[in-house]
Amino acid sequence: MKNIPLLLMGCGGVGRQLLQHIVSCRSLHAQQGVHLRVIGVCDSKSLVFASDVITRELNDQTLYEVCRVKSNGSSLSALGDLGECTEYGNSESKRKVMDIAALLGKATGLAFVDCSASSETIGVLNQVVDMGCCVVLANKKPLTSIMEDYDKLVSYPRRIRHESTVGAGLPVIASLNRLLSSGDPVHRIIGSLSGTLGYVMSEVEDGKPLSEVVKAAKNLGFTEPDPRDDLSGMDVARKALILARLLGRRINLDNIKIESLYPDEMGPDAMSVEEFLASGIVSLDNDVQERVKKALLNGNVLRYVCVIEGSRCEVGIQELPKDSPLGRLRGSDNVLEIYSRCYNKQPLVIQGAGAGNDTTAAGVLADILDIQDLFP
């Protein structure tokens, strides 16, 4: 049986779902000759780890307890004394994490799994890669930091996986890597990489006012608590940057042209969420409806997409043919069209659920298993 020690950073929706997947797949992984040994879990305040990280692990009962405590909105410090694990406060957590990385990295190997949404993990990840550790990311921020941080993370390409940073569980990164490694140059990518904005644009296409669509999306749980986090386009821009860098573009976020669906005067610093939903977004309805009508007259539809082509990298609303893969998009699916030498006139199209804790966590789990050959 091959044992893969892993340390999870981030116990939000994706992190908790990952722990549940690990436990529920024990018998499947045993048939494959693999055991995922969770030696530690940390949130922004605390670290819980096995009493002996070389030989022991957090048992499944403890992992379920971690999920229960975090789903209640509490810190891991609320776990108390679980017997086989030890809890450290924030002041000592980072030092202990580095000690564990140094101990296991060169010996048996260690998978650092970042399911947080924080930039605080960048410093730790940059250090552990030199200790022989592997890195698996659902968190986009380490890959969209400055180029110096990016170069450090990808300096050992066999030891990093980040499929779930773009398109949740969809095989976007893997597909691009296969094309690039085969010498098939990718010259254009266009895609709808936000389930929220995909839903919004397909609904306004049916004639519904933007304000009503956004409110409905929020009630359905499709948006962040503040829908402007989705409508700003920043999340799509981060995904576009990850793809652009994968293609060799040495650019940063501020090099990407980003179209927000609301003006600066309606931003979080200017009005509350309640004010934005009650009066702010209503004033945007007419402009969006005019753009929808103009597109329809041209035989097109509007989609919020990222476009990467040559030196161009931008995200925003584009008119696209109705009969194209992106034009046919309905609901919250992600769709990506990839154009290369082999996929020139007819692009490689990747489509499916591009959001959700379950789908994202499944992608992270697949990434962990993908690096198993690096462990003794």
- Could you give the CA distance from residue 241 to residue 149 in angstroms, rounded to a whole number? 14
Q: Is 10 annotated as a binding residue?
A: yes
Q: Is 133 annotated as a binding residue?
A: no
Per-position b or e across 113-150, b if 16+ CB within 10 A of its CB: bbbbeeeebbebbbbbbebbbbbbbbbbbbbbbeeebb
| Active-site residue, 96 included | no
**Those residues with Cβ within 8 angstroms of residue 231's Cβ, 6 or more apart along the chain or in another chain:** 197, 200, 214, 260, 261, 262
User: Active-site residue among 2, 152, 239, 345?
Assistant: 239
Q: Is 12 annotated as a binding residue?
A: yes
Tell me if 304 sits within 8 A of 316, measured CB to CB. Answer: yes
**Those residues with Cβ within 8 angstroms of residue 195's Cβ, 6 or more apart along the chain or in another chain:** 222, 332, 333, 334, 353, 354, 355, 356
- Could you give the CA distance from residue 375 to residue 372 in angstroms, rounded to a whole number? 6
Task: Please give the C-alpha separations between residue 348 and each of 29, 30, 222, 340, 351, in angstroms, as whole numbers.
Answer: 32, 35, 27, 8, 10
Q: What one-character-per-residue DSSP string does 247-264 give?
A: TT----GGGSEE--SS-G
* Token digits of residue 76: 């891991």
3-state secondary structure of 201: helix
Helices (H) then strands (E): counts for the chain: 14, 13
Q: Is 15 annotated as a binding residue?
A: yes
Cα first-last separation, the chain: 10
Q: Is 306 annotated as a binding residue?
A: no
Please, how many CA atoms are within 13 Å of residue 50, restricted to the half-sphere of its CB? 19
Tell me if 236 sits within 8 A of 335, measured CB to CB. Answer: no
For residue 62, the one-letter residue type is T
Q: Is 301 annotated as a binding residue?
A: no
274 CB burial (10 A radius; 0-12, 13-18, 19+):
exposed
Tell me if 112 sits within 8 A of 125, measured CB to CB. Answer: yes
**Those residues with Cβ within 8 angstroms of residue 200's Cβ, 6 or more apart along the chain or in another chain:** 210, 213, 214, 217, 231, 304
Residue set of the binding site for NADPH:
140
Q: Which residues are catalytic?
A: 239
Residue set of the binding site for L-homoserine:
224
